[in-house]
């Protein structure tokens, strides 16, 4: 083998290596940002394309939605209650060129801004609002974080507060408050029942007063109920008129009783 043949083989090998280096394949969910001599010339993909070896450099960017957990943060609410809160952030790249050029690592940047925004927003609300108005707080977090990440070509679609960990003393205080609230409701319901019962008894007394025979019927009905229990209880009906007569005679005797000197 002479030198010409060796040179041709070497040239063919170099061309083959350059050909392999020029081929790029980008997946459907990716984009390839092309740098030519350090300057951005655009983003390509998906599919198969070629670049100039050595001159061009490609950076792949995923366009899929990233689900990122925000680590638990110690937050002091507006009413000075210390809680530990964690959340989850959903985001994806909208502009692949900005996500590479505007920030070094858009995932780390989004994570850091999510943590600081979580502490900032929750520090402006009361504990009750944090526990009740969770949807409104999630929307505020999403809007603030998305406004910061928009120049990076990153779109934050959703932020959800996952768990709020309360101090043990605060949990006991809330339990006592809930118990007191239940007792208050029970007393109010009982009072309403007593009032309705009193009103019903008053109406029944008025009806019995207008119809004296109904009193006798009620007495007989009560005697029937007691007799059906198979017990040894004896009932002696005593007319109320007799009791009123006794009270009248007692009052008359007291008036005519001589006063001792």
pLDDT, tens only, 146-199: 999 999 999 999 999 988 888 787 778 777 888 888 888 889 998 998 888 888
pLDDT category at 132 given cuts 50, 70, 90 is: confident
The model's confidence at residue 242, banded by pLDDT at 50, 70 and 90, is low
Structure tokens at 51: 């670049």
Residue of 155, 150, 124 lying closest to 137 (CA atoms): 124
Average pLDDT across the chain, whole number:
84
Q: Which pLDDT band holds residue 235 (cuts at 50, 70, 90)? A: low
Residue 237 neighbours by CB distance under 10 Å = 9
How far apart (Å, rounded) are the C-alpha atoms in residues 207 and 196? Answer: 17
Give dist(CA 194, CA 177) in Å, integer. Answer: 26
Task: Look at strands 30-36 and 23-26 and give their pairing.
Answer: unpaired
pTM of the full structure: 0.66
- Which of the 8 DSSP states describes residue 84? E
| Coil, strand or helix at 211 | coil
What is the structure's pLDDT at 65?
A: 94
Spatial separation of the C-alpha atoms in residues 179 and 185, rounded to whole Å = 10
Closest to 158 in 3D by CA, of 216, 90, 106? 90
Give, in order, the Cα–Cα distances in Å from 31 to each of 92, 129, 239: 13, 42, 101
């Amino acid at each position: 083998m002479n030198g010409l043949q060796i040179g041709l083989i070497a040239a063919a090998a170099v061309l083959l290596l350059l050909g392999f280096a020029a081929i790029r394949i980008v997946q459907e969910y990716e984009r390839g940002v092309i740098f030519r001599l350090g300057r951005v010339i655009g983003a390509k993909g998906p599919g198969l394309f070629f670049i100039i070896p050595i001159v061009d450099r490609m950076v792949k960017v995923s366009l899929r939605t990233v689900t990122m957990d925000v680590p638990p943060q110690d937050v002091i609410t507006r009413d000075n209650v210390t809680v530990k809160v964690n959340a989850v952030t959903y985001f994806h790249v909208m502009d692949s060129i900005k996500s590479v050029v505007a920030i070094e690592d858009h995932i780390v940047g989004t994570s850091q801004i999510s943590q600081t925004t979580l502490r900032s927003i929750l520090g402006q609300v009361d504990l009750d609002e944090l526990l009740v108005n969770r949807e409104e707080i999630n929307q505020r977090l999403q809007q603030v974080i998305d406004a910061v990440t928009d120049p990076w070509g990153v779109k934050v679609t959703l932020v959800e507060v996952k768990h709020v960990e309360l101090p043990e003393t605060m949990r006991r205080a809330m339990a006592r408050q809930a118990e007191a609230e239940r007792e208050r409701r029970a007393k109010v319901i009982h009072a309403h029942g007593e009032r309705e019962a009193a009103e019903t008894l008053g109406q029944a007394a008025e009806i019995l007063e207008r119809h004296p025979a109904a009193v006798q019927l009620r007495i007989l009905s009560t005697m029937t109920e007691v007799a059906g229990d198979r017990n040894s209880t004896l009932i002696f009906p005593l007319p109320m008129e007799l009791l009123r007569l006794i009270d009248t005679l007692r009052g008359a005797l007291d008036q005519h009783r001589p006063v001792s000197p």
